């Protein structure tokens, strides 16, 4: 028996979640109907409503998955042995790379907040992600600048995401990445 992992047959739930993630993110949440999702996932409508009682539940589940995936992605490129300034700059650079690769369609959570203002479960998923984001940036900074710097870097990260979405180019993000690097670096030096 080869060491390849036996690929478990994708359950309907997983197929739905994967397809929903792709369509919600690339075409928008409201622009993506249930029928489109189940057709592309190759799953019956009954199965969809068996796993998710409503579209809102599916959106919320998508966002929870997205938060987990985001944390995993940013951790994968995080060199924890590097200086805080470089770790933070790396977070921004990774975003710029995504823009250059043409795979960026805005922050999934900002998009959801705007597209689904009247869905409590969706808003809850967004709040939960915001906490994860805050904690991760605090982790990257590892004490430099204290809580105020965490807050400010978070705002700047929001700006990088929004600006990338609206302009479609990575230039501004790369510039701000360097800016943040110098900012954190000087704070660290002042603190030392």
Partner DNA sequence: GTAAATATAGACAGGTTCGTCTAGAATTGC
Partner DNA sequence: GCAATTCTAGACGAACCTGTCTATATTTAC
Q: Which long-range contacts (CB under 8 A, 24 or more apart) does 159-165 make?
A: 160/92, 160/95, 161/95, 161/106, 161/107, 161/110, 162/106, 162/107, 162/110, 164/95, 164/96, 164/99, 164/104, 164/106, 165/104, 165/105, 165/106, 165/107, 165/110
Residues 121 and 168: beta-carbon distance below 8 Å: no
Stretch that binds a copy of itself, among 7-15, 42-50, 73-81, 103-111 (CB under 8 A): 103-111
Q: Per rule CB under 8 A, is residue 119 in the interface with a copy of itself?
A: no
Residues in region 128-187 near a copy of itself by CB under 8 A: 130, 148, 151-152, 154-163, 165-167, 172-173, 175-176, 179
Residue 149's SS3 state is helix
Cβ proximity to a copy of itself: between 56 and 158 the closer is: 158
Interface pattern 4-23 for DNA (x via CB under 7 A): -----x-xxx----------
- With CB under 5 to 8 Å by kind, the binding choice for 163 among DNA, a copy of itself, none is a copy of itself
**CB of 112: closest distance to DNA in angstroms?**
14
Residues 177 and 93: beta-carbon distance below 8 Å: yes
Cβ proximity to DNA: between 35 and 178 the closer is: 35
C-alpha–C-alpha distance, residues 157 and 159, integer Å:
5
Q: Per rule CB under 8 A, is residue 102 in the interface with a copy of itself?
A: no
CB neighbours of residue 148 within 10 Å: 9
Q: Per rule CB under 8 A, is residue 124 in the interface with a copy of itself?
A: no
Binding site for a copy of itself (CB under 8 A): 27-28, 30-31, 106-107, 109-111, 113-115, 117-118, 126, 130, 148, 151-152, 154-163, 165-167, 172-173, 175-176, 179
């Amino acid at each position: 028996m080869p060491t390849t992992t036996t690929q478990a047959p994708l359950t309907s739930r997983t197929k739905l979640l994967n397809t929903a993630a792709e369509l919600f993110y690339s075409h928008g949440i409201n622009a993506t109907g249930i029928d489109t999702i189940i057709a592309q996932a190759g799953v019956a409508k009954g199965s969809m409503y068996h796993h998710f009682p409503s579209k809102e539940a599916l959106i919320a589940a998508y966002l929870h998955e997205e938060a987990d995936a985001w944390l995993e992605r940013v951790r994968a490129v995080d060199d924890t042995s590097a200086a805080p300034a470089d770790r933070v700059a790396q977070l921004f650079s990774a975003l710029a790379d995504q823009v250059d690769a043409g795979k960026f369609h805005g922050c999934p959570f900002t998009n959801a907040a705007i597209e689904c203002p009247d869905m409590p479960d969706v808003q809850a998923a967004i709040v939960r992600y915001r906490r994860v984001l805050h904690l991760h940036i605090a982790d990257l900074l590892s004490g430099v600048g204290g809580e105020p710097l965490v807050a400010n870097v978070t705002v700047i990260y929001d700006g990088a995401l929004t600006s990338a979405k609206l302009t479609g180019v990575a230039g501004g993000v790369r510039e701000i990445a360097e800016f943040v690097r110098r900012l954190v670096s000087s704070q660290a030096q002042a603190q030392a």
